[in-house]
Structure 1
Amino acid sequence: MTATAAQPPAASGDAEAHAHVPVLLDRCMDLLAPALAERPGAVVVDATLGMGGHSEALLTRFPRARLIGLDRDPEALARSRRRLAPFGDRFTAVHAVYDELPAVLARLGIPRIDGILFDLGVSSLQLDEADRGFAYARDAPLDMRMDPTRGITAAEVLNTYPADDLSRILREYGEERFARKIAATIVRERAREPFRDSARLVDLVRDAIPAATRRTGGNPAKRTFQALRIEVNQELTVLERALPAALAALAVGGRIVVLSYHSLEDRMTKRALAAGAASKAPPDLPVVPDALQPTFTLLTRASEGATEAETAENPRAASARLRAAERVREDS
């Protein structure tokens, strides 16, 4: 039976958080429901807490569940704590990156979890705060750190990386066709004056790309900004560690849901879930013993996207890709 507890009141001063529309919310709730609805004391992890929209829905729909919310961004944690305060001790916020999940669970004394949700990429909070430097549409300091208390900034990457490394980052993380030309231009221009603010970088990228290419595909700087953000926050390296850790933490019947926003994240997620759902037996073995059976089953055979109605309500959902899996047995 699905729980239908009433929505708790919004904490004062956080109206902007409640205006935020979580991506693919209903689909995420439905996929996680079998792991949470019938288990008193079920533990679910929101690995990317952000503004707390998915977490609020989880705590509301599953009133017997406990939720652990992770985020590397101190401002996101502060806002989510205020937003989710009505849920009391059912909600625990932790300042951590999601690849730190095993250490977080050990510290909290939680051996296994029943569900975990990843909503990857940059959060609405980070995009909407101009001084964070994530949005190429507004001039701001080139920071791009999801946790502004540690790590290198985008300006440091631009001003110190060799041209070959800049080109690789733009090509691999931004899938930028003109990566080498943009990188060479950055190196030339930083010798004249170090990069500090985003507007100069946007202009540089636009000028480095052929005019015919600039006429389609939106702002030509978006791929460069994506690549820098991924490098600054080591997003793919973190995800590569986090997915196996999340799968290992799930109890039998536990479910994982991953929302990704570009092909690199989605491919990495697809590989991790497919590996868990694959038999460990040789392909010609006539009978597969239990010890070699898959430990996971895929709940989505291909990545799922947002509906037209969802995209109309929340344009940021347009690039979302959802994948999910359920643990069906313990590892042998």
Structure 2
Amino acid sequence: MVALPQIAPMLATPGSLPPETVEDRWAFEVKHDGQRAIVYLPGDGTVTLRARSGSDITPAYPELAGLGSALGRPAVLDSEIVAFDSEGRSDFERLQSRMGLAGSAAKAARMAKIVPAHLILFDAVYLDHSLIRLPYADRRTLLEDLHLNGAHWSTPAAVVGHGARALEMTRTAGLEGVIAKRLTSLYEPGVRSRAWIKIRHVLTVDVIVGGWVPGRGRLTGLPGALLVGEWREGALRYAGSVGTGWSDTERTILAALLQAAAIDACPFDEVPEVAGARWVLPRLVGEVRYATRTRAGRLRHPSWHRLRPDLAPDDIT
């Protein structure tokens, strides 16, 4: 069995579409709302899936095991695990019911029948040898030539040029957006690169929860607002208060997580002037929608989007 190299995923930078004058130098892929996974195929019929954090999540997705026998050569592929809704759109909320089941094979098998996962393959970083020094266009050709399309995995096409049209098509279809990838770009493991640009239809950011403010009335004991921050220059900087966007179920789940993480000291580098604030260990990661930022970097009109159990605080530094 071949000892495959451990490769950290290359990350995209939030931004806007490349200018039309140079868009023929870029490919555009649909941005799917799922869990990033590096796929390791040693060529012996087995498969290992590793999350962005490097943790082994293979047991959580037993329906993806067949990919190991679909390719009879050593490979490392980049991908996104998704769960589709009734309209065929990736739905992170559905996928959440599948995440975190790596330690329970029986439950993972049951859930695989209820909420089947699908593996979106979009890059090849190793095929018999390392491909990270090859341009993106060449890696995509090699990936597509593998013809990996099955019931639980596929290799969607990437479109060269026509960025505005691709973005509008995703908007019409109710998808999250597109990722633009420079055709000449090399694969940069673990790097958030300007060679890959993610363009979403709404602005979002991954944040770290550092505190909360209890609600009142029917929300007594539940969070009325979350106090969130971002790592900047080795410190957790306060980014604002998020007080909307949860369902009742999500609010209850957050309450339990916050109570379990309670601490006495503020984790932010500067204590925000928020009355009634309670502090927590900065270990919960969430995704927040927002309109823009203030000059001080605070989020304007933020709204909670989702917890990110697939990310640790160190993953978003």
For normalisation by structure 1, the TM-score amounts to 0.28
Q: 1 or 2, which has the higher strand percentage?
A: 2
Higher relative helix content: 1
